[in-house]
Amino acid sequence: MRTFSIRASVRLVVVSGVLLAGVTGGYAAVSLFPAVRAVQRATAPLQATGSRLDNTGEWVDRTARVAEQALEPGGPAALDSLRGWLGAYDLLDLSRPIAGVSDSVRMVLVSVSAAASRFAVTLEEMGALVEMGRRREAAARLAQARGAQQGLLDLAARAQASGLAGVLAAQRRVEVVSRRLAAVFVLWVAGSAIILGSAVRLVRRRLELPLRDLQDGLARIADGDLSVQLVPRTEDEIAALTRQFNQMTAVLRSRAEAQGQMAAASVLLANAAHEVNNPLMSIGAMAESRLADAGVPVPARRDLEEILRQVRRASRLLRGIVRFVRPAPAGELRTDVNDVAREALELLAFQFAADGVAFALDLASGVPRAQVDAQSLEHILVALLANAHEALVRAGAGERQTTVRTWARDGAVCVEVRDSGPGVAPEIRERLFVPFATSRVGGHVGLGLYTARRIAREAGGDLVFEQPAERAGAVFRLTLPAAPARPPVPPAAPVAPPGPAEVRARPTSLAGLKVLLVEDESAVRAPLARFLTRRGASVREAGDGEAALALLASEPADVVIADCRMPVMDGVALYRTLQVRHPSLAARMLFLSGDVAQLGAVGAEIAADRVLPKPLELAELERFILAHQ
Amino acid sequence: MQRAVVTAAVALAAAAALAGCGGTREPVRIGVVLPDDFAQAAQLAADEINDAGGIRGRRLEIVRDAVPPGTPDQPSAEIGRAQTVLRVPLAAVVGHDGSASSLAASPVYNAARVLQLVPTGTSRLLQTAGPWTLALAPNDSVEGRFIAAFVRGQLRARSVVLFYVNDEYGVGLRDGAREALAGHGTRVLREVRYDAQADLAVLLDAAIRSEVPDVVIVAGYTDAVGGLARLVRDRRLATRVVAGDGAHALPAVITASAGAAEGLYLVTFWLPGAGDSTAQRFAQAYRTRLGREPAARDAMAYDALRLVASAIAAVGERPARVREYLQSLGVSRPRYQGVTGKIGFGAGAGPARFVMGVVRGAVVVPAKAGR
């Protein structure tokens, strides 16, 4: 459905409002203005007419009274006063036309002027007659003047009536206009209500509801529901926003699924490593045991030594994989970048070799330790190396070379991973470190470089990309702050000699040492027991913690070595029990663990140096036991 | 297509022009609201113009609301006359007779936006009556000062009684004379207001009761001027009567004076014996047409009509254009040469001049200095 855009709709409402206000206001003004002007035209001349008539009437009245006084005995003295009043006739200005009066009023005013003039001249004659002593004739003139006075009053009334007729006509016009405006006002109110209603409906339908949909969708995403897909209500700007929202949600969902699969894979990998560790350790221990037998013929001895070498190699690889996929608490922020570079390469060495990618290490000697924990650094380097490997494999035939170089500069430690691939296309460079932006295919999440840079920056350094030249490979340069030099260790304070009860000489061999070996897998437990027995220890074996406790109940032990992960009662539970029942024995308890990541969980209660990771070498086990006695 | 339209337009224009040549064109109409005898001078002017081919080839038609000779001024009736002549579209109106009538009618013309050219009205109020009212004559105050100067300078009067008709004309002329006489050795014994119904004998007797003036100045019209001249003669007063232009209507004033008009001084705007060839030509034509001597107001009516006709000939008959043309005379255009002299309306342009005449043997002749 195609509808107006929000911008066009808002404009339509605004224009409608303006038109409504403008048209109705203009109509009101056009209708009212002439009516008001008509009232003004009618009233202003009427005021002037009324004023003139009032003045004339007052003048006539007072002049007539003075004229009466002039007729009385001693009247001639009042003649001067009468002449003064007659002279004031000019001030009435009766000849001056009054603008705007109707013709009927004008004619009445002309008659008023003529009547006033007649009145004045009559009294002029009366004064002359009085002056000449002809009082009777003078009285007759006064009577005539009185008649003219009455005529003036009648004319004034006519003028007022004529003027009022004009005002009344104007007033009627105003009333008509007012009624018309009232109707217009009703229409205006109705129109306003329609426009307002339309505006409210528009805002609700086009803005409020779609925005509420988006708000709800975002809330569901915040709650972890990435399956949200919104349906656009209309075709407008918010519909475009809604589609982008859906697209973003789909991307998030696919990324989350990929991350979830990767997390599950990590767990599986860690568990598999643990499961592989025990057989490896069993194989290794058996091989070592057999090698300890001097009677083993030379060819067989060579085979056993090769077995042992491969076991050790597999063990290192497994440790590295487990360390990589299972997060562990950050270790000390003093890391030898060269060591980590080697370990990272070792993790990927097989894949590099399998794909024919050569790699080289150009590690400067004397590089200070970086102020970052080893696992974080390993993450960064593995990401960079994997990136380089991917680029080289995708590039196809040609030289495939990856070089890791380290050096120190201005208090910083630098690591560079360079490959001989085609480099990064210009359109991708700007998105290299953007989360979920990947040019790779096949389940890549697109977080590798983003996470690597984030870790680098959190450590106070940075990770940047450099393009040496087009199709001249790619260079990622990691800069990390150098760790401060470790302060010199103060000389140890003299320690008071232990008391008689605490004196316990550290054994130099396992001879006579009572060892309780707690391990659920007999394939591991048996070679270890045979080795320790061969080294002179008195070994008892238990399959879980409870069995160990039963053995301890019958006979004490000098040292308990327990696997961390066992059925029924694992090593940590056993440790907790011993802390209660045999605290001194718990303090000397040692642990084996096939899961490196588990060390972190154990470490909260147990010192890390008391845990020996599997697979282990038998000689290593002996040194481990002696070091903790 | 465009060519066809142009051809059609040219054909229509040609047809219209031919129709105009066929004698069906509307005449140019000018209103004349004057007494019949007075209007005859205007009709003379119109006839001369039509005899000469009309205005721009169109006939000039005078639209009249007849006022019988001797009709007293009735301002209220002037409004009706103005409304009557305005029933047909007019380029201008020449009228009315005198200040009071003209003032009464002026609102009608100003409302209708039609030019009113007043030939003889001299009221000061005519200058403010409205933008569509123009006066051909100087105002009353100027005339009053002219009379005062004559009385004082030529007649060497030491005392005067000033009679004035109680309208705008009389009051304006009184004010001009009063102002010009004050402080110059000529006393005004009394100012006497009168109207057409006044008992002039009573008023005169009272005015001269204590002292007989050297001169009676009459700011009024023919009847009163003639009446006062007769009263002065009847009372055997050694008093001369000087009247304003309102009385310059022979033989009415002679009739009104009952033969006592001899020696009566009258202000006029023009005298037949004076002036240039244009004036002489008019006087001759007037005599030939009407068989009597033209008076000043005849010349003024004649000039007024010819002046309006010349304006229409110059700018067309739209009233606004006619008014603008007249107002520009003496300002951006040269003054109009009329029978009564050069006529202009700009500041200082000054309408027609004054002439003091005296009645000698039933005609008015220029007054000579001295008694």
A 10 A CB-CB count for A374 gives: 22
Residue B66 contacts A, CB cutoff 8 Å: no
Q: Are B166 and A128 within 8 A, CB to CB? A: no
Query: Is B129 in Cβ contact with A125 (below 8 Å)?
Result: no
Please tell me if residue B200 touches chain A, with a CB cutoff of 8 Å.
no
Using the Cβ of B79 and the Cβ atoms of chain A, whether some distance falls under 8 Å is answered with yes
B198 touches chain A (CB under 8 A): yes
- What's the Rg (C-alpha) of chain A? 58
User: CB–CB of A574/A560 below 8 Å?
Assistant: yes
User: Which residues in chain A (556-575) have CB-CB distances under 8 A to chain B?
Assistant: none
CB within 8 Å of B118: residues ≥ 6 apart: B95, B96, B99, B102, B126, B133, B134, B135, B136, B137
Name the pTM for this structure: 0.51
Find the CB nearest A103 among B79, B106, B199: B79
Instruction: Look at residue B14 in the predicted model and tell me its pLDDT.
Output: 46
pLDDT at residue B275, rounded to an integer = 64
DSSP per-residue codes, B314-365: HH-S-HHHHHHHHHHBTTTBPPEEETTEEE--STTT--SPPEEEEEETTEEE
The long-range contacts involving A308-313, CB below 8 angstroms and separated by at least 24 positions, are A308/A284, A311/A280, A311/A281, A311/A283, A311/A284, A311/A287, A311/A615, A312/A284, A312/A615, A312/A617
Residue B104 contacts A where some CB pair is shorter than 8 Å: yes
Tokens at A312, concatenated: 């050790």
Distances (CA, A) of A449 to A218, A385, A595, B28: 27, 11, 27, 101
- CB of B207 within 8 Å of any CB in chain A? yes
Closest CB from B108, B129, B207 relative to A103: B108
Cβ within 8 Å, pair B209-A120: no
Which residues of chain A fall below pLDDT 70? 1-4, 75-76, 163-167, 323-331, 435-447, 470-471, 487-506, 595-605
Binary contact (A110, B79; C-beta < 8 A): yes
* pLDDT for the residue numbered A119: 93
pLDDT tens digit at each of 371 positions of chain B: 444 444 444 444 444 444 444 445 789 999 999 988 889 999 999 999 999 999 999 999 999 986 665 555 566 688 889 999 999 999 999 988 888 889 889 999 999 999 999 998 888 888 888 999 999 888 888 889 999 999 999 999 999 999 999 988 899 899 999 999 987 789 999 999 999 999 999 999 999 999 999 999 999 999 999 999 999 999 999 999 999 988 877 778 888 898 899 999 999 888 877 667 788 899 999 999 999 888 888 999 999 999 999 999 999 999 999 999 999 998 899 989 898 888 888 766 555 578 899 999 888 888 864 33
